[in-house]
Chain A
Amino acid sequence: MHDEIDVRIARLFSELPEAGAEVGERALARALDALPTPQTRRRSPLRTVAVLSAAAAFVLALAAGALAAAGALHVSFGASSPRQTTATVSQLTVPAGARGIAAVVDGRLWLTTSSGLRLEGLPVTAAALSPHAQYVAAGIGDALVAIAPDGRRAWSHPTAGPVAAISWAPDGLRIAYIVAGRGGFRLHIIEGDGAHDELIDRAVRTVQPSWRADSLAVAYVAAGGTPVVYDLGHRSRQVVTSPSAREATQLAFAPRGRALAVATQHGFLVTGAGAPTNGGTFAPSVVAGVGWLDDQIVLAVDPASASDQGPFIQLFRLDHGEAIPMGQLIPPATIQALDTDGRRLTVTVSNRSGIRVFASSPAATVRKAQLPRLPALLQLAPGTRVGSVAVR
């Protein structure tokens, strides 16, 4: 009987589905990229010095070993631990002064926090860091899950479908999330401990909701493409009626006050700070992201194929109802994702050699920061699709 099972299992294994050809080619490319650079033997005129250095290092190593044996120093000998390579992320670094970084790459969450929480390649549908990066909320299967600083599930809330976007309120007490349901997407708000889930709107677009600085209002895009501000205190909705705001693609409340920046296909406007301010248009370019650094509006603009101009990040200052251009930064390649926490800009740029994530320091303006000169927080394989990235 066992012999028969041997044969049948072997046959079954050979009859299982195969990986797609494209998947295989992509995997091969990634595997080849991971190969270590072959070391060539070179004879250097400084060989004698090197030998002496090695001898000195050996003596030092012996001394270190003695200290280690005495418990005074932690030291390890032999081969280094295996390099932690992953399918897509070759580097993941929390920038100085930040608490954590999270990126959703090809439907997987990569996350590191300064408190030691680390997730590598967790399949998610969306994710968002809480303020100060203490917790992370993620869409896993048909549930909204909060992950605690120790890496364990803090709570899980079943949803009607996959979670498409998540936004944590600045005070950490509520989470707005968009979930796929029958016939469309719905906006919910749930408390930060997973209690009191509430349906806010039955027909919305999958644009990341944005919280007002006081955490008492959240902006989202209705199914028709119009921005809406939902006030939790009054349980009321205010529709942004300006024609310039139709077909909104991105929303961002200012880090202070009530100003809301609305990006559309070809431009942006600011509302909530007195009269709506039309920021300008970039036709035929596409606004890929919008955010705030202090009182400056940050706009990431990607050119349409018809344009010769490269992608750029445009800064504006609001002055008495006018959006005054402050300057441009030309990143080295196409912008995939942009996020701001009011003080820091995190941006993902891609070119043929790969994708990199940069973050400015809180004190620096984008212009001074010179993104290409900053160390990359993440390095991703070419062709990777970045869903979202955030530093908190």
Chain B
Amino acid sequence: MRERTDRDLVRRTRRGDRDAAAVLFRRYWQSAWRTAFVITGRRALADDVAADAFERAFAALDRFDDRRPFAPWLHRIVANRALDLLRSERRLADDEPPEPVDLQPDRDSGDRGLLAAVVELSLERRIPVILRYGVGMTPKQIAATLDLPVGTVNSRLARALEQLRDSFEAHDARRD
């Protein structure tokens, strides 16, 4: 059976089809959670941010323009909610963003060198990188998500990639 499109699922969900809503949720839950995780660096916050984002998205589904893709809209809510949370923590706790305690290279499997380099990126650069290469958004979609000009997104992506390349080289040199 052919997989239903996001637009179809959104329209069915609006009509009260909870099964369609569940399919939509499961299609993007892990992606939304991982985006929140990469931004906040903490599992507990990612749990709340992702759940909160879906709740907000579903509550606002009547206002969503279904001619546009669903995923960027959802991830925009995820990113904004995560940033709001980090901003409030930074404002109240200290001037530095909190350490991403659960997102440490020695705790996660996979490409540890790359993870270390990504964690070292500032949030300003980390978020566009994750939305571009993790979630698969275009620079234009990232710009809309973060309320930034496309040129700024491209610039941050370029600088982030440059920084990642430098980090790789340093990492490889240390390993050699």
Residues of A within 8 A of B130 (CB): 9, 13
Which of A16, A26, A32, A79 has the most chain B CB atoms inside 10 A of its CB? Answer: A16
Residues of B within 8 A of A26 (CB): 51
Query: What are the interface flags for A105-133 relative to B under an 8 Å C-beta threshold, 1 for contact and 0 otherwise?
Result: 00110000000000101110000000000
Give chain A nearest CB distance to B8 CB in angstroms.
Answer: 16
Residue of B nearest to A108 (CB): B48
B47 within 8 A of A: yes
Give chain B nearest CB distance to A376 CB in angstroms.
Answer: 18
Contact A123 B45 (CB under 8 A): yes
Distance between Cα atoms of A9 and B91 in the complex (Å): 30
Residue of B nearest to A83 (CB): B59
Contact A35 B13 (CB under 8 A): yes
Residues of A within 8 A of B54 (CB): 27-28, 30-31, 34
Query: What are the interface flags for B58-89 relative to A under an 8 Å C-beta threshold, 1 for contact and 0 otherwise?
Result: 11111100000000000000000000010011
B150 within 8 A of A: no
Contact A12 B60 (CB under 8 A): no
Contact A16 B37 (CB under 8 A): yes
B55 within 8 A of A: yes
Find residues 1-56 in chain A having any chain B CB closer than 8 Å to their own CB. 1-2, 5-6, 8-13, 15-20, 23-24, 26-28, 30-38
Contact A123 B16 (CB under 8 A): no
Contact A32 B21 (CB under 8 A): yes
A-B contact pairs, 5 of them (CB 8 A): A12-B118, A17-B102, A145-B92, A147-B92, A153-B92
Contact A30 B133 (CB under 8 A): no
Distance between Cα atoms of A92 and B165 in the complex (Å): 48
B174 within 8 A of A: no
Contact B63 A11 (CB under 8 A): no
Interface residues on B, range: 35 or more
Which of A19, A32, A140 has the most chain B CB atoms inside 10 A of its CB? Answer: A19
Cβ contact of A28, chosen from B25, B108, B110, B115, cutoff 8 A: B25
Distance between Cα atoms of A138 and B52 in the complex (Å): 22
Give chain B nearest CB distance to A354 CB in angstroms.
Answer: 14
Looking at chain A's contact residues, is the secondary structure mostly helix, strand, loop, or mixed?
Answer: mixed
A141 within 8 A of B: yes
Cβ contact of B114, chosen from A12, A37, A85, cutoff 8 A: A12
Give chain A nearest CB distance to B59 CB in angstroms.
Answer: 4
Contact A140 B108 (CB under 8 A): no
Distance between Cα atoms of A229 and B52 in the complex (Å): 43
B5 within 8 A of A: no
B15 within 8 A of A: yes
Contact A123 B92 (CB under 8 A): no
Contact A143 B55 (CB under 8 A): no
Contact A19 B33 (CB under 8 A): yes
Contact B58 A34 (CB under 8 A): yes
Contact B46 A36 (CB under 8 A): no
Residues of A within 8 A of B15 (CB): 38
Contact A156 B94 (CB under 8 A): yes
Distance between Cα atoms of A31 and B52 in the complex (Å): 8
Distance between Cα atoms of A222 and B59 in the complex (Å): 47
Residue of A nearest to B18 (CB): A32
Give chain B nearest CB distance to A260 CB in angstroms.
Answer: 33
Given A5-B161, A12-B118, A31-B25: 14 more A-B contacts, CB < 8 Å: A8-B114, A13-B133, A13-B134, A17-B43, A20-B47, A32-B18, A33-B55, A35-B58, A82-B59, A82-B63, A87-B48, A107-B44, A141-B98, A156-B94
Distance between Cα atoms of A36 and B88 in the complex (Å): 29
Contact A153 B133 (CB under 8 A): no
B56 within 8 A of A: yes
A352 within 8 A of B: no
